Amino acid sequence: MAYAQPLSINEAPDESKPILEAIEKKFGQSMNIFSTLAHQPDVLGGMTQINDGLENDLPAKYRELAYYKASQLNSCDYCSHYHRQAAKKAGLSDEQLDSMNVSSGDLFDEKERAVLKYAEQLTAKANVDSSVVKELKLFLNEKQLVTLAAAVALANFTNRINHGLDIELP
């Protein structure tokens, strides 16, 4: 059972209501993580602002690959559930998502392997080898690299929110 109950739009603080309405409009529903964070409107607003910013310049395939990898490493079933759907929509296959192993031969190209290594290192040790960043800079500009770092950081944030509050899938 969740440690903090998700709020409906009607139950949410006034500051959270427009954010929840925008989430429902965007996704067709308000997911439990957002409805739970509605208890604290500033945190909800900050998280959704970062989430929206991630969609601006990094290709969706790389963003979702990194997010899904971090969520898998953290055993976050909630985030893995939603980001698996987003990753498939971005062009990743079930076979790739079932593996998520950097050394999975032909499943991932060089760019995807670099993204996976980055997400794995940043999630596992909160640091990244400069050689991995060098690989990424062959195909990502600095703005995209910042977005990739933010995507992995947000994945780790949401994974911990989900675990810390025992947020359940609907």
Mean pLDDT, to the nearest integer, of 128-152? Answer: 98
What is the domain extent for residue 41?
Answer: 9-54
Q: Are residues 97 and 33 in the same domain?
A: no
Answer yes or no: is 170 within a domain: no
Q: Are residues 142 and 79 in the same domain?
A: yes
Show Cβ contacts of residue 26 under 8 Å, excluding neighbours closer than 6 positions.
Answer: none
Q: What total of structural domains would you count in the chain?
A: 2
pLDDT value, residue 1: 87
Average predicted confidence (pLDDT) for the chain:
95
Task: Give the tens place of pLDDT for each residue, 121-137.
Answer: 999 999 999 999 999 99
DSSP 82-110: HHHHHHHHTT--HHHHHH--TT-GGGS-H
How is residue 147 written in tokens? Answer: 């977005």
Answer yes or no: is 4 within a domain: no
CATH code: domain of residue 77:
1.20.1290.10
Q: Are residues 87 and 152 in the same domain?
A: yes
pLDDT value, residue 104: 63
Q: Are residues 72 and 108 in the same domain?
A: yes
**Of 100, 21, 28, which is closest to residue 67 (Cα–Cα)?**
100
Q: Are residues 50 and 66 in the same domain?
A: no
Mean pLDDT, to the nearest integer, of 14-42? Answer: 95
Instruction: Please check the confidence at residue 143 and state whether its pLDDT lies above 70.
Output: yes
Instruction: Please check the confidence at residue 45 and state whether its pLDDT lies above 90.
Output: yes
Lowest mean pLDDT among 52-56, 79-83, 101-105, 147-151: 101-105
Using a pLDDT cut of 70, give the percent of the chain over it. 98
How is residue 47 written in tokens? Answer: 């998280």
Q: Are residues 148 and 81 in the same domain?
A: yes
Query: What is the C-alpha radius of gyration for the chain, rounded to an integer number of angstroms?
Result: 16
Q: Are residues 67 and 120 in the same domain?
A: yes
Show Cβ contacts of residue 93 under 8 Å, excluding neighbours closer than 6 positions.
Answer: none
